[in-house]
């Protein structure tokens, strides 16, 4: 990809102004950065591509110390009644509400999200706190009938231990909250390794949780933040004192983490790649579909795990829909996310930009037709900032590049003739996170949600692939990892189950009628 020669360079907020705004947000959350940490991570902003601060970097020794501190806190925390644990999460929700603007500001500065999306992410954190507080009084087991007279059979759920949370840059706060709010009410403690690209946001969130714990008289070190590179993070993955590793990121990362945790018989919760698609049936409301597709494909500059990357359209309506989408994409306002009216902010870094370029080149080599977008919008005086035009590419077939997830705003368009062909195309990728269908035919909608329909963990009708609510379990199948976070009964991943048999009789009958007299 190359910069469009007819487009004037974008004007973006200066690095000095970003630094000032970030420091104000950190101060509001109670975070004081050391003057010259060593070793350090570069806390940068994709808005300019430049470093804002040096942030203290944790090495393996610091990660081990964090695990030890969380393990010590767990010994006390697990004995606290769950509704009392919920009070800490309730207080966190209040503090997040009070500091929503500050956390949202840091998310925009570090991840490049437009403010409405950044504030929406913080609202999601507040919502999961509300959910977890209610859950703290509903961590219920079951009672089952025993085959032996005078016996009661039941199950109970107990805290699991230290939970290691590894989060990605694109949701630098919400994914942590999904895990941490639930883990805390379940009686666990947390060691959080955020993306090195969003350490400031993590520090602010961690400071608010520390304050919530102190306000409620809870133990220190319920949540310990370790900003570390992948090498140091291996100490978290390999530690036998970390009962569960919840990792969000690429399929490559998950393939490295899972066997290491399995080798020590730990538990994993994986939220990995998504190659999400929408099927558009001939009966669909095309204007509704266009709106849903645009946000799902271009929102967050295509850097959501639920971003729509494939569009599978009935051939009778494909031309009309693609033409409408091309007009919308061409008019999307791209630029500084802090500027009024911006809808598409920057890619996170040069690696993301280069990946997008390689994918587009390969798609065209495979016979694809670039409909719109794909160019770079240069930012004046900021060569390390990467603003791109969301692209639409019509493909003759589902090639290898279409089957791979590219974390950038590329929407591949495929066509189909009959519904079975659409489902086969939809399911013909390794990933299985989110899916949707646009149709007015109730039979097609039901078929898409049936066992032989979409093979994804999230299946939507007449909405896009992005924008999950916290009440439902979030996650996907196949190389997406099979994990579930957030709502429904996802809490069970953070606890251990015990089956209990109570004999309240004066006899000792054995199960299955065994006689061992």
Q: How confident is the model at residue 2 (pLDDT cuts 50, 70, 90)?
A: very low
pTM of the model as a whole: 0.96
The token pair at 431 is 């990933």
* Residue showing tokens 């008289």: 217
Q: Which residue in the list 271, 389, 444, 485 is annotated as catalytic?
A: 271
Please report the pLDDT score of residue 383 as a whole number: 95
Confidence band, pLDDT 50/70/90 cuts, at residue 5: very low
Q: What is the pLDDT of residues 443-500, one digit of tens each?
A: 999 999 999 999 999 999 999 999 889 999 999 999 999 999 999 999 999 999 999 9
- CA dist 278 and 289 (Å) reads 9
Helix (H, G, I), strand (E, B) or coil at 162: strand
Contact 88, 210 (CB under 8 A): no
Report CA dihedral (86, 88, 89, 92) to the nearest 10 degrees. 160
Give 230's pLDDT tier (boundaries 50, 70, 90).
confident
The DSSP call for residue 397 is: S
Q: According to the model, what pLDDT value does residue 231 have?
A: 85
Read off φ and ψ for residue 54, nearest 5 degrees. Answer: -95, 130
Mean pLDDT across the stretch 431-452?
98
186 is annotated as an active-site residue: no
Active site residue 271: yes
Going from the C-alpha of 202 to that of each of 163, 166, 173, 372, 407, the distances in angstroms are 16, 11, 7, 36, 22
Spatial distance between the Cα atoms of 437 and 454, rounded to a whole number of angstroms: 9
* Structure-block tokens of residue 180: 């941490």
Could you tell me the maximum CA-CA distance found in the chain, to the nearest angstrom? 93
Q: Alpha-carbon distance 433 to 483, whole Å?
A: 10
- Which residues are CB-contacts of 280 (< 8 A; sequence separation ≥ 6)? 286, 289, 311, 312, 313, 314, 317, 321, 437, 438, 439
Strand 376-377 vs strand 50-56: parallel, antiparallel, or unpaired? unpaired
Q: Is the pLDDT of residue 4 over 70?
A: no
Q: Tell me: the pLDDT tens digits for 63-85?
A: 999 999 999 999 999 999 999 99
Residue 3 has pLDDT above 60, yes or no: no
Q: Is a pLDDT exceeding 60 seen at residue 6?
A: no
What is the model's pLDDT at position 232?
A: 84
Q: What is the pLDDT of residues 233-260, one digit of tens each?
A: 899 999 999 999 999 999 999 999 999 9
Pairwise CA distance, residues 411 & 402, whole Å: 9
Question: For residue 152, what pLDDT is reported?
Answer: 97
Phi, psi angles (nearest 5°) of residue 322: -65, -40
Per-residue confidence (pLDDT) for residue 1, from 0 to 100? 45
Which one of 29, 129, 186, 305 is the catalytic residue? 305
Enumerate the β-bridge partners of residue 215. Answer: none
Asked if residue 38 has pLDDT above 80, the reply is yes
Q: Residue 278's beta-bridge partner residues?
A: 311, 436
Alpha carbons 387 and 374: distance in angstroms, whole number: 10
Question: What is the tally of helices (H) and strands (E) in the chain?
Answer: 15, 23
Mean local confidence (pLDDT), 315-333: 98
């Amino acid at each position: 990809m190359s910069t469009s020669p007819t487009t004037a360079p974008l004007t973006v907020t200066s690095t000095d102004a970003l630094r000032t705004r970030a420091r104000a947000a950190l101060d509001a959350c109670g975070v004081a950065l050391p003057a010259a940490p060593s070793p350090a991570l570069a806390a940068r902003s994709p808005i300019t591509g430049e470093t804002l601060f040096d942030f203290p970097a944790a090495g393996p020794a610091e990660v081990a110390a964090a695990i030890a501190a969380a393990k010590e806190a767990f010994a006390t925390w697990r004995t606290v009644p769950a509704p009392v644990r919920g009070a800490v999460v309730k207080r966190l929700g209040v503090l997040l509400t009070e500091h929503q603007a500050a956390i949202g500001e840091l998310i925009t500065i570090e991840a490049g999200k437009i403010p409405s999306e950044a504030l929406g992410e913080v609202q999601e954190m507040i919502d999961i706190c509300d959910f977890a507080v209610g859950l703290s009084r509903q961590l219920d087991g079951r009672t089952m009938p025993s085959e032996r007279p005078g016996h009661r059979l039941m199950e109970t759920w107990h805290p699991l231990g230290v939970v290691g949370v590894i989060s990605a840059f694109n949701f630098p706060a919400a994914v942590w909250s999904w895990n941490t709010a639930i883990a805390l009410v379940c009686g666990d403690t947390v060691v959080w390794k955020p993306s090195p690209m969003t350490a400031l946001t993590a520090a602010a969130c961690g400071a608010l949780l520390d304050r919530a714990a102190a306000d409620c008289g809870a133990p220190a070190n319920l949540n310990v933040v370790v900003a570390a590179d992948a090498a140091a993070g291996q100490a978290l993955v390999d530690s036998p004192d970390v009962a569960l590793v919840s990792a969000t990121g690429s399929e490559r990362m998950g393939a490295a983490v899972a066997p290491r945790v399995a080798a020590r018989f730990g538990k994993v919760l994986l939220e990995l790649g998504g190659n999400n698609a929408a099927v558009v049936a001939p009966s669909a409301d095309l204007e509704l579909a266009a709106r849903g597709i645009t946000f799902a494909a271009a929102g967050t500059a295509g850097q959501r795990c639920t971003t729509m990357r494939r569009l599978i359209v009935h051939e009778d309506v494909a031309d009309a829909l693609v033409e409408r989408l091309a007009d919308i994409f061409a008019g999307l306002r791209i630029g500084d996310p802090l500027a009024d009216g911006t809808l598409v902010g920057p890619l996170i870094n040069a690696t993301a930009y280069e990946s997008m370029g390689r994918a587009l080149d390969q798609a065209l080599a495979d016979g694809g037709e670039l409909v719109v977008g794909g160019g770079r919008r240069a930012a004046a005086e900021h060569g390390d900032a990467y603003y791109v035009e969301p692209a639409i590419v019509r493909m003759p077939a589902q090639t290898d590049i279409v089957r791979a997830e590219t974390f950038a705003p590329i929407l591949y368009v495929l066509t189909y003739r009959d519904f079975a062909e659409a489902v086969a195309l939809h399911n013909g990728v390794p990933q299985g996170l989110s899916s949707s269908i646009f149709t007015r035919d109730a039979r097609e909608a039901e078929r898409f949600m049936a066992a032989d329909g979409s093979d994804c963990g999230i299946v939507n009708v007449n909405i896009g692939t992005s924008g999950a609510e916290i009440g439902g379990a979030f996650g996907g199948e196949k190389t997406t990892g099979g994990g579930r976070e957030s709502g429904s009964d996802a809490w069970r991943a953070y606890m251990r189950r015990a089956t209990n048999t109570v004999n309240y009789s004066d006899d000792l009958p054995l199960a299955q009628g065994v006689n061992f007299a």
